[in-house]
Amino acid sequence: HLEPVSKLLVLRKHKNINVKWTNIIQRSPMHFGKK
C-alpha cells in the first residue's frame, strides 16, 4: 500500500514544482525570453 501512495506524493510534488516554475516564467517573461 505504501508504493502507490509514495508515487502519488512524488507526482504531486512534481506538479507543484511545475506550477511554481510556470508562475515564475510568467512573472518574468523578459528574463526567460532571452534563452
* SS3 of the chain: helix, strand, coil, percent, to 5: 90, 0, 10
5-26: pLDDT as tens digits: 899 999 999 999 999 988 887 8
Residues in CB range of 25: below 8 A, 6 or more apart = 32
User: How much is the pLDDT for 12?
Assistant: 92
pLDDT of residue 3: 82
Tell me, what's the pLDDT at 23? 87
Name the residue with higher pLDDT: 20 or 27. Answer: 20
Could you give the CA distance from residue 14 to residue 10 in angstroms, rounded to a whole number? 6
